[in-house]
Amino acid sequence: MTRCRGSSPALKLVSVIAITIGGLFVGVPRASAYDHTNYAGRPLGTSGAVNDCHGAAYGRVDGSLVLFSAYHCNPASAGLGAGQPAYGHDGSIIGFWASDWGGASVNDFSYIWLETGQVPFIKNEIYRGFNPACPTCADHWTVTTAYPSVGLSCAYISSKFNRTVYQNFQPFYNYTWEKEPGLMTGFKVSGSSCQVQTTINWHGAAYKDSGSPFVYGASTNQPVGIATSKDGSNALAFSTFYDGWNKANVYWLSHGSNVGVHLCYDSNCT
Amino acid sequence: MPMKTALIAALMALIAIGCLAGASPSDPFKSSEPSESMAPVRLLTGVPANMGDGDGCFTNAIEGELTVDPKYGTAIVTTTPPEGLTATIAWRPGFTGRRVGSEIEVLDPNGNVVATTGNKYRIAGGGVDWPEPPIKVFWACDFVDQK
């Protein structure tokens, strides 16, 4: 680092001011600007292999704040290395993608370890957009359960087929599209993977549905799934949130002093 | 009669000249002989285990430069942050590859060229654990848009 060796304090002050002002005009990268955007229900920034997935919901894993999303959004899923940065809408790094652990990838479930400060002030809200028919209504769902209900797991969700489900999808972070309603019509595939078919249409190549949260119509206080795929007719399917989360929880609880996984169910996410 | 003979001779000469001109490498309609430069290239193709019958696709994409992968045919090098990372590409069943010079062309099941190494693309799909060989790949399962 260059020092103003032997110069007067006044000259040093002038130098500091000049460097600071100069930095504003020569495109110096922003250092550690905190991003308090709520990405639960909003798209992330471009992130290498897996562009612009959505965040689904906030939670804690092993005591640390995380943002849940789909595993196939994690660059590690394509062999691009574990721990790649995750980006916010303005290009800042909001955190780092988790490694593939415990087989939760089978349920297309992953998360981002959030950097200190890179979290919204209220952490248990999932953005759902503005409702023009009800301007005074909340533009978010509030998560009030630490754990997704087992009733929304793959094993039991078939009892809820043909009922309403909502997708939280914003094409860009600052859009205000309202949630989209549809029906859960059945399983898309069978076997170890559990993808629930819906009647909601894929939003197209210009947008990224992956990772966007789904909420079961009668259970808006807990996410039911994470958008992961579409069928040949462009109808969206989601992976059940419970199954990926449960696999993660089993893994973390089996590791000594770890405290497991839970959703942010109060504003501070304690 | 001599006039007619001369006309036929002139026509034959023109056809001969045309045939010679047709041998020019710049003629896109010349018949192509199989050569080493158009040799088939084996691509990694199939459907990952968690995608059922394989008619569906993930709902996001990868963006970068398509490159030659000496082992699996094609790979993509990311051009968006974090840049410069390489992922092997797996294509849907029926996709084929062929070498054209130093590049590889990727053809869909109908024989249409959908991508060529050396160019930049945004390709729909998602990262998956491939069953065989057991490696992590990016499964290209929908649109291939040149950037």
pLDDT for residue B31: 35
A182 domain residue, yes or no: yes
Burial grade of B54 (CB within 10 A; 0-12, 13-18, 19 or more): middle
- Give the nearest chain B residue to A75 (CA atoms): B127
Comparing B33 with B68, the larger pLDDT belongs to B68
Q: How far is the alpha carbon of A160 from chain B, nearest alpha carbon, in Å?
A: 22
Contact B145, B95 (CB under 8 A): no
pLDDT for residue B36: 54
pLDDT for residue A8: 42
Give dist(CA A208, CA A204) in Å, integer.
8
Tens digit of each residue's pLDDT, chain A (270 residues):
333 333 344 434 434 343 344 333 333 334 346 778 899 999 998 765 556 699 999 999 999 999 999 999 999 999 988 899 999 888 888 999 998 777 788 889 999 999 988 899 999 999 998 888 888 999 999 999 999 999 999 999 999 999 999 999 998 888 888 999 999 999 987 555 689 999 999 998 888 899 999 999 989 999 999 999 998 899 999 999 999 999 999 999 998 878 899 999 999 998
pLDDT for residue A176: 85
pLDDT band at B20 (very low <50, low <70, confident <90, very high): very low
Comparing B4 with A134, the larger pLDDT belongs to A134
Give the strand order in the sheet containing A64-69. Answer: A85-87, A93-97, A110-114, A64-69, A57-61, A261-263
Q: Is A177 on the interface with B (CB under 8 A)?
A: no
Residue B134 has pLDDT above 90, yes or no: yes
- Judging contacts by C-beta atoms under 8 Å, the chain A residues touching residue B56 are 188-189, 229-232, 237
Q: Is A53 on the interface with B (CB under 8 A)?
A: yes
Q: Where are the domains of chain B?
A: 1-31, 36-146
Q: Which domain, by its residues, includes A94? A: 57-263
pLDDT for residue A172: 86
A71, B127: Cβ pair inside 8 Å?
Answer: yes
A181 domain residue, yes or no: yes
How does DSSP assign B40-102, residue by residue?
EEPPPB---GGGTTS--EESEEEEEEEEEETTTEEEEEE-SSSTT-EEEEEE-TT-EEEEETT
Residue B15 has pLDDT above 80, yes or no: no
- Give the nearest chain B residue to A202 (CA atoms): B59
pLDDT for residue B30: 36
Q: How far is the alpha carbon of B105 from chain A, nearest alpha carbon, in Å?
A: 21
Q: How far is the alpha carbon of A237 from chain B, nearest alpha carbon, in Å?
A: 9
pLDDT for residue B38: 85
A48, B81: Cβ pair inside 8 Å?
Answer: yes
Q: How far is the alpha carbon of B13 from chain A, nearest alpha carbon, in Å?
A: 55
A78, B124: Cβ pair inside 8 Å?
Answer: no
pLDDT for residue A270: 86
The stretch B115-126 carries a mean pLDDT of 95
Give dist(CA A63, CA A67) in Å, integer.
13
Give dist(CA A157, CA B2) in Å, integer.
92
pLDDT mean across residues, chain B: 80
- Judging contacts by C-beta atoms under 8 Å, the chain A residues touching residue B57 are 229-230
Q: What are B's interface residues with A at a Cβ cutoff of 8 A?
A: 49-53, 55-63, 78, 80-83, 85-88, 122, 124, 126-129, 135-138, 142-143, 145
pLDDT for residue A22: 37
Q: A231 vs A4, A109, A189, CA distance in Å?
A: 65, 19, 10
| Sign of the CA dihedral with A200 first, then B64, A55, and A156 last | positive
- Predicted TM-score (pTM) above 0.90: no
Q: Residue B28 has which token pair? A: 């896109």
pLDDT for residue A6: 35
A32 domain residue, yes or no: no
- Give the nearest chain B residue to A103 (CA atoms): B129
Give dist(CA A167, CA A213) in Å, integer.
6
Residue B1 has pLDDT above 80, yes or no: no
A47, B88: Cβ pair inside 8 Å?
Answer: no
Give dist(CA A78, CA B140) in Å, integer.
11
- CATH classification at residue A249: 2.40.10
**Tell me, what's the ipTM?**
0.79
Number of domains in chain A: 1
Q: Which residues 70-99 of chain A have a CB within 8 Å of chain B?
A: 70-81, 84-85, 87, 91
Give residue-wise pLDDT tens across range B42-88: 999 999 887 777 788 999 889 999 999 999 999 999 988 778 999 99
- Give the nearest chain A residue to B62 (CA atoms): A49
Q: Is A105 on the interface with B (CB under 8 A)?
A: yes
Which DSSP letter does residue A40 get? Answer: B
